[in-house]
Amino acid sequence: MLIIVMHNNQDYLDHLTQLAKKEDIRDVAIVKKEHIGTRLIGGDASFTLSRGKMHDAYGRAFVAVVNGEERTRHFLDVIERDHYLDIINIQDKGFVCTVPFYYIKHLELESATIKKEEVKMKIGDYLTEERISLELKTHTKEGVIKELSTLLKNAKELVDFDAFVKDVFEREKLGTTGIGNEIAIPHARTDAVKDFVIAFGRSSEGVEFNSLDGKPAKLIFLIGTQKEKNLNNYLKTLAHLTRLLKRQSFKSLLLKVSSPREIIDAFKKVEM
Domain boundaries, the chain: 2-99, 122-270
Number of neighbouring beta carbons within 10 Å of residue 238: 21
Residues 31/61, Cβ–Cβ less than 8 Å: yes
CB atoms within 10 A of CB 39: 19
**Fold equal for 2-99 and 122-270:** no
pLDDT for residue 119? 47
Point out the residues of the chain with pLDDT beneath 70: 35, 37-48, 54-56, 86-91, 100-120, 212, 229-232
CA distances from 141 to 32, 62, 85, 169, 263 (A): 36, 32, 43, 10, 22
| pLDDT score of 111 | 32
Give the angle subtended at the CA of 216 by the CAs of 136 and 122, to the nearest 5°: 65
Active site residue 187: yes
- Predicted pLDDT at 46: 55
| pTM of the entire predicted model | 0.63
**Helix 161-173 to helix 141-151 angle, to the nearest 10 degrees?**
150
Report the pLDDT value the prediction gives residue 39, as an integer from 0 to 100. Answer: 58
Catalytic residue among 7, 15, 187, 240: 187
Strands (E) located in 104-156: 132-133
Decide: helix, strand or coil at residue 115: coil
8 Å CB contact between 40 and 61: yes
Q: For the domain 2-99, what is the CATH code? A: 3.30.70
Structural domain 122-270, CATH architecture: 3-Layer(aba) Sandwich (3.40)
Instruction: Please say whether the beta carbons of 13 and 60 come within 8 A.
Output: yes
Task: Enumerate the β-bridge partners of residue 3.
Answer: 64, 98
